[in-house]
Copies of this chain bind each other. A is one copy, B any other.
């Protein structure tokens, strides 16, 4: 069991065993058309024999690729884990990349220290490409990536961004999602709407609000818009604030399903019934949405598909494809909270 640490066989050994040169062995294993079937067979047998696996370091240097793709994450790990949105999206990326020979690496960049380390790795060319999961933060790194010419996909719209013709972009149409939610609540006949959104500095939040406004106009006055965090606790507190103001409202648009869950709890505690007294619409179609009581009407964001798309685009860019922009579409999920 305690195997002696035998040193891994190299291509030279395979070549010797097969009685050919290193170059022929390499070509045979890479299935080059210039090598006869006969020889290929012999080389493959020899490789199998000595248990040869090409060394990643040698190969990387020779082909100029590490076959590693960095998934740049600007949130601290704890936040990343508390927001199930990321899980879905990251799953999409890794799912798709696992079909290729590329290995995704989650690279954290929340602290300055981490960002410096990330920068260093970029400069050392440790990765063939980068998928930036939250590009509206940490733009120094984008500058570095641009300068280095590393193929990069931004996951999210960067308003008026200077990298349009350098980086690819994948994003869900948040404004459209906002319109869907607002239309649904309007069709239900609600007139006095409150919005409990995520953080004010988040561009997706701004887009969704724009969508709400496009449909609702004056039915969603400025005073009724609250910015908060993404958690149910945040939704709960925000709704308490609103109730304390004693304004009249019959509909709540929420920035996330978790916010909506907190909002519903607060409404129930205040003796208000959902959806009889107040309609509530969430966002994300997170797992929690279907389990809410009542089950939450929400806007589905195709996160997993977005991950697939990001991975595919980045793979294409490595092969030399031009940067592209890809918009994913939202979908209203009708349930009982409306």
Partner of A2, one of B53, B58, B125, B166: B166
- Considering only CB atoms, which chain B residue lies closest to A106 in the complex? B106
The verdict on A121 contacting chain B, using a C-beta distance below 8 Å, is yes
Are B78 and A87 in touch, CB under 8 angstroms?
yes
The verdict on A326 contacting chain B, using a C-beta distance below 8 Å, is no
Binds B, one of A22-30, A90-98, A276-284: A90-98
Partner of A94, one of B77, B86, B88: B77
- Considering only CB atoms, which chain B residue lies closest to A88 in the complex? B78
Are A98 and B113 in touch, CB under 8 angstroms?
yes
- Considering only CB atoms, which chain B residue lies closest to A105 in the complex? B105
Q: How far is the CB of A332 from chain B (nearest CB, A)?
A: 24
Are A3 and B147 in touch, CB under 8 angstroms?
yes
- Considering only CB atoms, which chain B residue lies closest to A87 in the complex? B81
Partner of A98, one of B53, B84, B117, B166: B117
B interface footprint on A119-140 (CB within 8 Å = 1, 0 otherwise) = 0110111100000000000000
11 contacts between A and B (CB under 8 A): A2-B166, A3-B147, A6-B149, A56-B126, A57-B60, A57-B64, A68-B105, A77-B90, A77-B91, A78-B88, A82-B84
B residues near A58, Cβ cutoff 8 Å: 61
A149 vs B2: C-alpha distance when bound (angstroms): 9
A148 vs B103: C-alpha distance when bound (angstroms): 20
Partner of A105, one of B59, B87, B103, B125: B103
Are B103 and A1 in touch, CB under 8 angstroms?
no
The verdict on A5 contacting chain B, using a C-beta distance below 8 Å, is yes
The answer to whether A56 and B1 touch (CB under 8 A), given A61-B61, A77-B94, is no
- Considering only CB atoms, which chain B residue lies closest to A84 in the complex? B81
Q: How far is the CB of A79 from chain B (nearest CB, A)?
A: 9
Please report A residues at the B interface, Cβ cutoff 8 Å: 1-3, 5-6, 8, 53-61, 64, 66, 68, 77-78, 80-82, 84, 86-88, 90-91, 94, 98, 103, 105-108, 113-114, 117, 120-121, 123-126, 146-149, 162-163, 165-166
The answer to whether A126 and B103 touch (CB under 8 A), given A81-B86, A146-B1, A149-B5, is yes
A146 vs B126: C-alpha distance when bound (angstroms): 27
B residues near A88, Cβ cutoff 8 Å: 78
Q: How far is the CB of A154 from chain B (nearest CB, A)?
A: 15
Are B3 and A149 in touch, CB under 8 angstroms?
yes
Are A1 and B106 in touch, CB under 8 angstroms?
no
Q: How far is the CB of A258 from chain B (nearest CB, A)?
A: 13
Are B77 and A124 in touch, CB under 8 angstroms?
no
Are A56 and B124 in touch, CB under 8 angstroms?
yes
Q: How far is the CB of A69 from chain B (nearest CB, A)?
A: 11
Q: Which of A55, A84, A165 has the most CB of B within 10 A?
A: A55
A231 vs B34: C-alpha distance when bound (angstroms): 58
